[in-house]
Amino acid sequence: MKTDLDRVAQSDKQDFLDKNLGDNHIATSAANPLREDAFKLSDSEKIESIKKDVASILETLGMDLTDDSLKGTPNRVAKMFVNEIFGGLNPAKKPKASTFDNKYKYGEMLVEKNIVVYSTCEHHLLPIIGRAHVAYISNGTVVGLSKMNRIVDYYAKRPQVQERLTMQIVQELQNVLGTDDVACVIDAKHLCVNSRGIRDIESSTVTSEFGGKFKDIATKREFLDYIKLETAF
């Protein structure tokens, strides 16, 4: 079945998206929308280009970039974008997730909870801050615990929507572990909701993705019960 977007001429699709997506929390793909030439420029070249753009934005807003407090801001922001908060766009920074044989034959689910999430909303470039809870059931392979945190951090360091981030974490661990039995729940605050627009500082967004055995009601319930347990320290 064709959607409204399918019926729009290619040249008008971006205008259609701008008008119809608006502030809605909608993702158009399970992968981050990158151009084919996304890595044509080196990181240092990107920093130089972004630095000029940030300076232009601040100048347009009427800021005096000769002031001691502001003159370094364009460079700081550009370096932050490329090296830090959007560093997960660069596949060269993808964490190497070493796996090991499950020689001790642990057959229950393993849950890594309360993984800190720092991401950025791709609609307004404002922070997403929360916690991820990730679990898997080994089919003969295990992964180092810290690698689960690193995978969350890698996919979070992009312009994101929370639904996509949740799916990407599960898909990556499924590929690493060679099993569908992976689950992820994320509970996060979006500053595009908390600090602008409706400015609801209390609300948070919860997303989930359940693969393989985690689609079973009893297994899903067990995972969710583990999340509710008090952390030891």
Task: Given the residues 48, 122, 163, 222, select the one marked as catalytic.
Answer: 122
Task: Given the residues 112, 133, 162, 168, select the one marked as catalytic.
Answer: 162
Asked if 123 is an active-site residue, the reply is yes
Residue 164 main-chain phi, psi, to 5 deg = -65, -45
Asked if 25 is an active-site residue, the reply is no
What is the reported pTM?
0.87
**For residue 143, which of 98, 181, 178, 175 has the smallest C-alpha distance?**
98
Task: Given the residues 124, 171, 174, 222, select the one marked as catalytic.
Answer: 124
Q: Where are the domains of the chain?
A: 41-85, 100-228
CATH architecture of 100-228: 2-Layer Sandwich (3.30)
Task: Given the residues 168, 172, 192, 209, select the one marked as catalytic.
Answer: 192
Asked if 163 is an active-site residue, the reply is no
Residue 34 has pLDDT above 50, yes or no: yes
Asked if 192 is an active-site residue, the reply is yes
Measured between alpha carbons, how far is 59 from 64 in angstroms, rounded to an integer? 7
pLDDT above 90 covers what percent of the chain? Answer: 85
Q: How confident is the model at residue 98 (pLDDT cuts 50, 70, 90)?
A: confident
Task: Given the residues 121, 133, 160, 172, select the one marked as catalytic.
Answer: 121
Asked if 133 is an active-site residue, the reply is no
Q: Which CATH class is domain 41-85?
A: mainly alpha
Measured between alpha carbons, how far is 219 from 214 in angstroms, rounded to an integer? 5
> Does residue 98 or residue 113 have the better pLDDT?
113
Greatest alpha-carbon pair distance for the chain in Å reads 64
Give pLDDT tens digits for 84-95.
999 999 999 999
| Per-residue burial over 52-71, b = 16 or more CB atoms within 10 Å of its CB, e = otherwise | eebbeebeeeeeeeeeeeee
Q: How confident is the model at residue 30 (pLDDT cuts 50, 70, 90)?
A: confident
Q: What is the pLDDT of residue 97?
A: 86
- Are 84 and 43 spatial neighbours (Cβ–Cβ below 8 Å)? no
Give pLDDT tens digits for 166-185.
999 999 999 999 999 999 99
Task: Given the residues 25, 48, 123, 163, select the one marked as catalytic.
Answer: 123
User: What does the block give as tokens for 209?
Assistant: 């993705």
Task: Given the residues 133, 160, 172, 190, select the one marked as catalytic.
Answer: 190
Q: What is the pLDDT of residue 19?
A: 54
